[in-house]
Amino acid sequence: MTASRPAEARPAFQIEFIDPVEGLAEVRVEGALTFADGGALWDRLRSKLPMAAKAGVRFDLSGLESIDGGAMALLVQAKWDLETSGTYCEFTGSTGAVAKLLALYDGDARAAPRTPRLHVGVLGHVGDSTLAAVRGTQVFLAFVGSMVLASGGVLRRPRTGNWRGLVPLVTRTGADAVPIVGLILFLIGFVMGFQSAVQLKEFGASIYVADLVALSMTRELGPLMTAIIVCGRSGAAFAAELGAMRVSEEIDALRTMGIGPLRFLVFPRVLALFLVLPVLTLLGDFVGILGGLLVGVVSLQLTITGYLNETLRALDLWDISQGLLKASVFGLAIGLISCSQGLAATGGAEGVGRRTTSSVVISLFALIVIDAAFTLGFYELGL
C-alpha cells in the first residue's frame, strides 16, 4: 500500500497587487509574515513593483496579523529603494505590534532622493585641491602655534619635557644615518668632480674642480641632500609612529593621564632633528669634498696637497655657516611637518599610510621652497 503524497504547504501570507487607483498602485499584504518567507516575498516584490511604481505605491498592512524583524526589514528596504529612485511610497493600515515594529524600523520615515552625481571638470578639481591646500596650511599653522606654546612651556619648566627620549632619537636620526648620508654625499661629490672636470680640462683649469665641489657642497648640495635623506628616513618614521599612536588611541590615553602629546612626543623629535641636521651636513660636506678629491687625484693628476689648499682658499667660514643655518631650518621643517601629519592620521592603517606619504611629499616641497628663499635672501643681501 503506497502512502499518499502530502499536500503542498501554502504560504502563511498572501500578497496582492492592485492596479493604480487615484494615481497609486496598492500592495496588500495579509496573514503572518516571517523571515523564512523572505525569499518568496522579495521575488514577488522585485517582479511586480517596477511595473506598479510608475504611479507610486501604497503598502496596505491592515490584513497583516503578525510579522518579524527580518520580514519587516525587507518591506522597509523595498519602500526605501522606491523612494530613493524618486517614486512616492507609503505604508498604511498597520496596527498593534505591526505598527510598533514598523516604527522601530523607521518605516514611516522619508528617504531622501538620490542626488545626481555632478561631473567635476579640470577647473573644479583645481579649485578643490586649492581649498584643501589652504585648509591644510591653516591646520599646520595652528599646529606650529601650539608647538611654540608647548616649547615655551618646556623652557619655563624643563622638568615637563621628555628629555629621556631625546638621546635615543638623536641616535636614531643621527648616528644611524651616518652610513647612508656619507655614501650618498661621497658619490655626489665624486660625480660632480667628473662632470666639472670634462669642461675645466679644456681651459686648463682643472684645479678649479676643488672650488666648484667645495662651494656647491657646503652651500647647497650638502644641506639639501642631507635633509632629503633624513626626510625620507626619519621624517617618514616619525609620521608613521605618531599616526599609529593616533589611530590606536594612545594619544588620547596620554591626554587622559594629563600628559601633553606635543611636549612628550613632538618636542623631542623636532629638537632631535634640529640638532642632528647640522652635524650630518658638516659630515656630508667633508665626505663630498673627499669624493671630489678622489677625482682630482686619479683623473686630473692633481696632488692631494694642491687640491686641499685650493679648497681652503675657495672656502670661508660663511660658506660653511650658511649651509649649517639651512640645515637647522630644514630640521625644524621636517620635524614639524612629519609630526603634524602623523597626529592628523585617521582611518586605521590606510590613513597612516596616506599621512606618511603626505609627510614626505610636503616636506620635500617645503625643503625646496626654503632653500630657494634662503638663496634669494642671501643674494639680495650680497652674502
> For 122-131, 167-176, 317-326, which range has the lowest pLDDT when averaged over its residues?
122-131
Q: How large is the average pLDDT for residues 328-340? A: 93
pLDDT range class, residue 187, cuts 50, 70, 90: very high
pLDDT at 3: 45
- On whether the CB atoms of residues 35 and 15 are closer than 8 A, the answer is no
Which grid coordinates are listed for 72?
A: 519587516
pLDDT at 280: 94
User: How many residues can be counted in the chain?
Assistant: 383
pLDDT at 288: 92
pLDDT range class, residue 111, cuts 50, 70, 90: low
pLDDT range class, residue 369, cuts 50, 70, 90: very high
pLDDT at 55: 66
pLDDT at 51: 60
Mean pLDDT of the chain: 83
- Rounded Cα distance between 24 and 27, Å, is 10
pLDDT at 363: 92
Helix (H, G, I), strand (E, B) or coil at 10: coil
- Residue 114 pLDDT greater than 70, yes or no: no
> For 114-128, 173-187, 366-380, which range has the lowest pLDDT when averaged over its residues?
114-128
- Residue 2 pLDDT greater than 80, yes or no: no
pLDDT range class, residue 9, cuts 50, 70, 90: very low
Between residues 66 and 332, the one the model is more confident about: 332
Kindly compute the dihedral angle of the four CA atoms of residues 367, 369, 371, 373, in this order, to the nearest 10 degrees: -150
pLDDT at 102: 79
pLDDT at 8: 46
- Residue 10 pLDDT greater than 60, yes or no: no
pLDDT at 253: 87
- Rounded Cα distance between 105 and 186, Å, is 70
Instruction: Give tens-digit pLDDT for 12-50.
Output: 667 777 766 666 777 788 888 787 777 777 777 777 666
Domain ranges of the chain: 13-104, 131-381
Predicted TM-score (pTM) of this structure: 0.68
The CATH architecture assigned to 13-104 reads 2-Layer Sandwich (3.30)
Between residues 122 and 12, the one the model is more confident about: 122
Side-chain-facing half-sphere of 259: CA atoms under 13 Å: 14
Instruction: Give tens-digit pLDDT for 239-284.
Output: 999 999 888 888 888 888 878 888 888 889 999 999 999 999 999 9
Helix (H, G, I), strand (E, B) or coil at 95: coil
pLDDT range class, residue 61, cuts 50, 70, 90: confident
Cα distances (angstroms) measured from residue 34 to each of 14, 108, 151, 185? 12, 20, 65, 75
Cα distances (angstroms) measured from residue 213 to each of 219, 278, 295, 306, 382? 10, 19, 11, 15, 21
